[in-house]
Structure 1
Amino acid sequence: MVTLNATLRTLGLALLLLAPTAWGDNRGGGSGSGSGSGSSGLSRPMTLPSTPTSGWPGGRTTPSNPGSNNSGKDGARTDDAAKDGAGPGRNGREDGSTRDGSGRREGDDRNGGPLPRPGADMPEARWQRGDQLVRSNPLAYERDPIGAPVLRAEITMLLPADAELPAALARRGFIAVRESAVLGRRLIVLRTPADLTLARAVALGRRLVPEAEIDFNHVLLGSGRTEPARRAPPPPAPATSAPPPEPVHVGLIDEALVPGGELTLPGEVRPVGARCLSRAVPEGHGQAVALVLARGLQQAGRRPVLHAADLGCGQGAVDAIATALQALDAERVPVVNVSAVGPYNRVMAAVVAAFLARGHLLVAAVGNDGPAAPPLYPAAYPGVIAVTAVDRQGRVLVEAGRGEHVAFAAPGIVELPGPDGTTRTWRGTSLAAPVVAAALALRLRQPDPAAAQAAVAQLARNALDAGEPGRDRIYGHGIVGLPATALAAAH
Structure 2
Amino acid sequence: MRQRLIRLGIVAALLAGAAGPALAQLGLPAVGQTLGGAVDRLRGTLDAAGDGAASVVARPLEDLRALADLRLQRLDDFVRRNRNTVAMDANGSPARAHELLLLDPDPAALMLAEKSGYRVMEHGDLEGLGVGFARLETPAGLSLPDATRALQKLLPAKTVTADQIHFPGGQTGPTTGSSAMPSPRGGTVGLIDGGVRPDARLSAQAGFATGAPRPNQHAQSIVSLLGGAGVAHVFAADVYGADPAGGNALAIAKALGWMAAQRVPVVSISLVGPANPLLERAVAAAQARGMFVVAAVGNDGAASPLSYPASYRDVVAVTGVDGKGRVLFEAGRASHLDYAAPGADMTAVGLAGRVTLRGTSFAAPLVAARLAAYPSGALAALDREAVGAGARTGRGILCNACRKGI
From 162, 165, 182, the counterpart of 1:216: 162
Match of residue 194 from structure 2 = 255
Opposite residue 331 of structure 2, the aligned amino acid is: A
What's the offset of the Cα at 1:320? 0.6
What's the offset of the Cα at 1:365? 0.4
Match of residue 12 from structure 1 = none
From 90, 93, 110, the counterpart of 1:166: 110
Deviates more, 1:212-221 or 1:289-298: 289-298
Partners of 1:117 and 1:127 within 8 A in 2: no
**Length-normalised TM-score, structure 2:** 0.75
Q: How many residues align?
A: 335
Match of residue 230 from structure 2 = 297
Partners of 1:118 and 1:369 within 8 A in 2: no
Correspondences of 1:444-483 after superposition (within 5 Å): 444=375, 454-467=377-390, 472=391, 474-482=392-400
Opposite residue 156 of structure 2, the aligned amino acid is: P
Opposite residue 458 of structure 1, the aligned amino acid is: A
Deviates more, 1:320-329 or 1:184-193: 184-193
Does residue 1:142 correspond to 2:87, yes or no?
yes
From 89, 98, 102, the counterpart of 1:157: 102
Query: d(CA) in 2 for partners of 1:248 and 1:396?
Result: 27
Correspondences of 1:288-367 after superposition (within 5 Å): 288-298=221-231, 304-312=232-240, 315-367=246-298
**Over 6 Å off, 4+ runs:** none
CA pair 143-442 structure 1, distance change in 2 beyond 3 A: same
- 3-state DSSP of counterpart to 2:285: helix
Larger relative contact order (Cα-Cα within 8 Å, sequence gap ≥ 6):
2
Query: d(CA) in 2 for partners of 1:198 and 1:293?
Result: 39
From 291, 295, 302, the counterpart of 1:371: 302
Which deviations, in whole Å up to 9, do the C-alpha atoms of 1:25-56 show, x marking residues without a partner? xxxxxxxxxxxxxxxxxxxxxxxxxx99xxxx
Does residue 1:391 correspond to 2:322, yes or no?
yes
Over the residues paired in the alignment, what is the CA RMSD in angstroms? 2.8
What's the offset of the Cα at 1:323? 0.8
The structure having more radius of gyration, on CA atoms, is 1
What's the offset of the Cα at 1:429? 0.5
Query: d(CA) in 2 for partners of 1:322 and 1:145?
Result: 21
Query: d(CA) in 2 for partners of 1:208 and 1:164?
Result: 12
CA pair 127-354 structure 1, distance change in 2 beyond 3 A: same
Partners of 2:117 and 2:139 within 8 A in 1: yes
Query: d(CA) in 2 for partners of 1:239 and 1:320?
Result: 33
From 158, 161, 171, the counterpart of 1:225: 171
When you count helix as a share of all residues, which structure comes out higher?
A: 2
Match of residue 198 from structure 1 = 144
Query: d(CA) in 2 for partners of 1:369 and 1:420?
Result: 27
Query: d(CA) in 2 for partners of 1:172 and 1:466?
Result: 54
What's the offset of the Cα at 1:134? 1.7
Contiguous gaps of at least 5 residues in structure 2: 1-10, 13-63
Opposite residue 104 of structure 2, the aligned amino acid is: L
What's the offset of the Cα at 1:417? 3.8
Opposite residue 476 of structure 1, the aligned amino acid is: G
Opposite residue 112 of structure 2, the aligned amino acid is: A
Partners of 1:126 and 1:368 within 8 A in 2: no
Partners of 2:294 and 2:316 within 8 A in 1: yes
Query: d(CA) in 2 for partners of 1:185 and 1:164?
Result: 18
Correspondences of 1:41-190 after superposition (within 5 Å): 118-119=66-67, 127-159=72-104, 165-182=109-126, 183-190=129-136
Query: d(CA) in 2 for partners of 1:291 and 1:164?
Result: 49
What's the offset of the Cα at 1:119? 1.6
Match of residue 237 from structure 1 = 180
Which deviations, in whole Å up to 9, do the C-alpha atoms of 1:116-161 show, x marking residues without a partner? 964269xxx654543343222210111123332111111111216x
Query: d(CA) in 2 for partners of 1:426 and 1:315?
Result: 23
- 3-state DSSP of counterpart to 2:230: helix
Partners of 1:130 and 1:221 within 8 A in 2: no
Deviates more, 1:128-137 or 1:315-324: 128-137
Partners of 2:206 and 2:236 within 8 A in 1: yes
What's the offset of the Cα at 1:254? 0.4
- 3-state DSSP of counterpart to 2:224: helix
**Length-normalised TM-score, structure 1:** 0.63
Query: d(CA) in 2 for partners of 1:274 and 1:118?
Result: 34
Does residue 1:272 correspond to 2:220, yes or no?
no
Deviates more, 1:314-323 or 1:206-215: 206-215
CA pair 466-393 structure 1, distance change in 2 beyond 3 A: farther
Query: d(CA) in 1 for partners of 2:334 and 2:328?
Result: 14
Query: d(CA) in 2 for partners of 1:279 and 1:273?
Result: 4
- 3-state DSSP of counterpart to 2:347: strand
CA pair 419-437 structure 1, distance change in 2 beyond 3 A: closer
- 3-state DSSP of counterpart to 1:319: helix
- 3-state DSSP of counterpart to 1:297: coil
CA pair 403-339 structure 1, distance change in 2 beyond 3 A: closer
Opposite residue 399 of structure 2, the aligned amino acid is: G
CA pair 192-248 structure 1, distance change in 2 beyond 3 A: same
Partners of 2:306 and 2:335 within 8 A in 1: no
